[in-house]
């Protein structure tokens, strides 16, 4: 089949455009019949010749790689046809080209993530896609100062209507550098930039893995574009600061509940709020609670690592104060969620709980003279740091946190005995012995 059909990249110099350039097309020849299919490129004769040089300069090399990818995609379509015909080739080639749209890939991935219940990750993909669209339109989709919610929504709708396909081949290292500068100039943090670009990198990896994109078009890595990483800002509180939070006298019930849930996270292996919200009474057995991190339960389904937490008396008291009543095995321990919620509703409820806790904890920190950011994430970081200060081996801390990245240490570690866990858990309230 491939020997009967000829493909080539054709510079159509028969008619110049207004800017003096000529369109670059894909030419297909079959049984002496020729058909031409447009690409996004229009070049002068001099520029086209530069793309054909043995070692073209960077700009022209990227254009040639992109054009070669288009031709290769056509060849792959032709080879899969049982019998060649232009109509069938055009139908399949059109679908193949549709797979070369970054925005379509974002939407498809977000949809799959939602179907899998990974709502936060899906939302992250949506935010990354909207940011990229804003960059291409050189306008912000976010709600600017003085802009009402309806105005912000109208602005996003206008941008969506102006959305055009973005070929993977157009996302070059230079494109990414400019996009990064644009985000930083617009007030995005290095952390946010990293999240958006890692999502984009995942789309490239998926496209290459699926055979929809040639490896040569991959813009990430050494000597290409490297995703920035945020500085590792220390978020752990000192034992003195944690002691102040323990001893703090809440002004009202809402503040007391927020403070106690923060402390529960700290006392329970840095358990994050999603896992706290989803914990049920059946996971409790005396002074032990066992869970699998929601963040990793899908990614490591074959080797799910259960986290076993020894509940110190203070943690048990928090459950007694704020736990759902009456208790039964399938009831949520804390009344943050309720049965029957959709994944989207669950995330909304958890996010609201985090927002409420962080708001109250910020006020508590100010009243206690703690200048650090006392967020729910700080509780997790403080847990691991407290154990490290107490001399607990890194391998133990890794297991308590449920990290899967400590492969070297975890490969030869078994679960720790209950008395060892109790000893380590006692370190979390070491400030009492200091007072």
Domain ranges of the chain: 5-98, 102-217, 239-434
Confidence band of 414 (pLDDT split at 50, 70, 90) = very low
pLDDT value of position 427? 80
pLDDT of residue 145: 44
For residues 345-367, average pLDDT? 94
In sequence order, the 6+-apart residues with CB closer than 8 A to the CB of 214 are 65, 68, 69, 72, 208
Q: Which of 310, 318, 289 is nearest to 423 (CA)?
A: 310
Q: Which two tokens stand for residue 65?
A: 């790689």
Measured CA to CA, the distance from residue 94 to residue 77 in angstroms comes to: 10
Single out the residue of 305, 296, 260 nearest to residue 415, CA to CA.
Answer: 305
CA distances from 29 to 24, 165, 285 (A): 16, 27, 73
- Lowest model confidence (mean pLDDT) among 114-118, 188-192, 219-223, 239-243: 114-118
pLDDT at 300 over 60: no
Share of the chain above pLDDT 90, in %: 44
pLDDT of residue 417: 47
Q: What are the backbone dihedrals phi and psi of residue 233, each rounded to the nearest 5 degrees, phi first?
A: -75, 125
Among residues 239, 307, 318, the alpha carbon closest in space to that of 272 is found at 307
pLDDT tens track for 256-278 = 999 999 999 999 988 889 999 99
Instruction: Report yes or no on whether pTM surpasses 0.85.
Output: no
Mean pLDDT calculated for residue range 324-344: 92
Q: What pLDDT is stored for residue 432 in this prediction?
A: 72
Q: Residue 321: is its pLDDT beyond 90?
A: yes
d(CA 263, CA 125): 32
Higher pLDDT, 110 or 389: 110
Is pLDDT larger for residue 98 or for residue 7?
Answer: 7
- Which one has a higher pLDDT value, 421 or 204? 204
The reported pLDDT for the residue numbered 416 is 46
pLDDT of residue 1: 45
CATH of 239-434, one of 3.30.1050, 1.10.443, 1.10.150, 3.30.1120: 1.10.443
Of these ranges, 349-358, 376-385, 415-424, the one predicted with the greatest mean pLDDT is 349-358
252 Cβ partners below 8 Å, 6+ apart? none
pLDDT at 335: 95
Please say if the pLDDT value at position 330 is more than 90: yes
Q: Sorting pLDDT into bands at 50, 70 and 90, what band is 178?
A: very high
CA distance 50 to 325: 75
On the question of pLDDT at 105 being above 50, the answer is yes
Question: Stretch 338-359: mean pLDDT, rounded?
Answer: 92
């Amino acid at each position: 089949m491939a020997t009967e059909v000829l493909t080539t990249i054709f510079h159509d110099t028969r008619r110049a455009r207004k800017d003096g350039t000529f369109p670059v097309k894909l030419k297909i020849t079959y049984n002496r019949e020729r058909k031409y299919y447009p690409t996004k490129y229009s070049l002068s004769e001099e520029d086209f010749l530069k793309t054909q040089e043995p070692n073209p300069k960077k700009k022209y090399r990227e254009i040639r790689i992109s054009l070669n990818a288009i031709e290769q995609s056509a060849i792959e379509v032709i080879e899969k046809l049982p019998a060649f015909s232009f109509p069938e080739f055009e139908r399949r080639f059109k679908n193949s080209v549709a797979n070369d749209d970054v925005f379509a890939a974002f939407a498809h991935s977000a949809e799959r993530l939602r179907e899998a219940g990974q709502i936060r990750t899906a939302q992250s993909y949506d935010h990354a896609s909207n940011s990229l669209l804003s960059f291409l339109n050189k306008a912000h989709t976010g709600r600017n100062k003085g802009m009402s919610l309806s105005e912000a929504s109208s602005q996003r709708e206008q941008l969506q209507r102006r959305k055009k396909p973005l070929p993977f081949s157009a996302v070059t290292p230079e494109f990414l550098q400019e996009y990064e500068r644009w985000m930083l100039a617009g007030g995005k943090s290095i952390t946010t930039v990293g999240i958006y670009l890692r999502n984009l990198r995942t789309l490239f990896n998926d496209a290459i893995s699926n055979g929809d994109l040639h490896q040569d078009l991959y813009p990430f890595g050494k000597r290409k574009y490297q995703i920035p990483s945020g500085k590792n800002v220390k978020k752990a509180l000192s034992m003195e600061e944690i002691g102040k939070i323990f001893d703090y006298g809440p002004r009202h019930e809402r503040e007391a509940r927020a403070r106690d849930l923060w402390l529960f996270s700290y006392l329970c292996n840095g358990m994050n709020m999603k896992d706290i919200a989803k914990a049920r009474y059946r996971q409790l057995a005396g002074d032990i609670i066992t869970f699998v991190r929601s963040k990793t339960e899908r990614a490591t389904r074959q080797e799910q690592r259960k986290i076993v937490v020894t509940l110190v008396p203070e943690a048990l008291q928090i459950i007694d104060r704020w736990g759902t009543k009456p208790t039964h095995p399938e009831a949520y321990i804390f009344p943050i969620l309720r049965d029957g919620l959709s994944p989207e509703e669950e995330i909304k409820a958890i996010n609201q709980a985090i927002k409420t806790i962080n708001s109250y904890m910020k006020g508590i920190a100010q009243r206690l003279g703690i200048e650090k950011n006392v967020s729910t994430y700080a509780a997790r970081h403080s847990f691991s740091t407290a154990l490290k200060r107490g001399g607990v081996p890194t391998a133990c801390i890794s297991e308590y946190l449920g990290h899967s990245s400590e492969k070297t240490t975890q490969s030869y570690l078994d679960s720790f005995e209950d008395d060892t866990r109790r000893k380590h858990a006692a370190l979390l309230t070491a400030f009492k012995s200091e007072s």
